[in-house]
C-alpha cells in the first residue's frame, strides 16, 4: 500500500481531508486467494477511509469459481461506502453476475 496526498486547487471545503482507499488490479483467482483478500480488507479498514474505490480487474475468473475468494470484500468499511468500476477482466468473466454479486456485498457498482 502507498499513501499519497493530493492537493486540488478549487476543491470544495466540504471535501477537504477526504480520504479514499483506491484498490485496483487485484486479479483474484491465480495466486491471489481468499487469505490475500482478507488481509487486504483488514489493512484497508485500518486506514479508516472515507470512501473505498475498487477500479477494475478484481478477478480472473467467474463468479462461480471466485465468489468465496472475494467474499471478504463484503467486510470493507468506510464512511461513504465502497464503489466498484468494472474492468475488462470482469467483462471477460461475466459482467452481469459480477455486478450482482458485488451489489449483494453492499458495493455501489
Q: What is the mean pLDDT of the chain?
A: 96
Average pLDDT over residues 26-39: 96
Model confidence pLDDT, tens digit, residues 53-98: 999 899 999 999 999 999 999 999 999 999 999 999 899 999 999 9
| CATH number of residue 65's parent domain | 3.60.21.40
Is residue 31 assigned to a domain? yes
Average pLDDT over residues 43-59: 97
CA dihedral 66, 67, 70, 75 (to 10 degrees): -170
**How sure is the predictor about 30, in pLDDT bands with cuts at 50, 70 and 90?**
confident
Percentage of the chain surpassing pLDDT 90?
94
Give the pLDDT confidence score for residue 82 in this predicted structure: 98
Q: What is the DSSP string of 47-89?
A: T--SEEEEES--BSS-HHHHHHHHGGGGG---SS-EEEE--HH
Domain boundaries, position 80: 19-104
Is residue 6 assigned to a domain? no
Is residue 48 assigned to a domain? yes
How many CA atoms within 13 Å lie on the side-chain side of 90? Answer: 23
Amino acid at each position: 500500500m502507498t499513501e499519497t496526498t493530493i492537493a486540488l486547487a478549487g476543491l470544495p471545503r466540504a471535501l477537504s481531508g477526504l480520504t479514499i482507499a483506491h484498490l485496483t488490479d487485484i486479479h483474484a483467482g491465480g495466486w491471489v486467494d481468499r487469505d490475500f483478500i482478507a488481509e487486504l480488507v483488514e489493512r484497508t479498514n485500518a486506514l479508516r477511509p472515507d470512501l473505498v474505490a475498487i477500479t477494475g480487474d478484481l478477478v480472473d475468473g467467474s463468479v462461480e469459481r471466485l465468489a468465496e475468494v472475494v467474499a471478504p470484500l463484503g467486510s470493507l468499511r468506510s464512511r461513504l461506502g465502497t464503489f466498484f468500476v468494472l474492468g475488462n477482466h470482469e467483462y471477460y468473466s461475466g459482467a452481469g453476475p459480477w455486478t450482482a454479486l458485488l451489489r449483494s456485498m453492499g458495493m455501489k457498482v
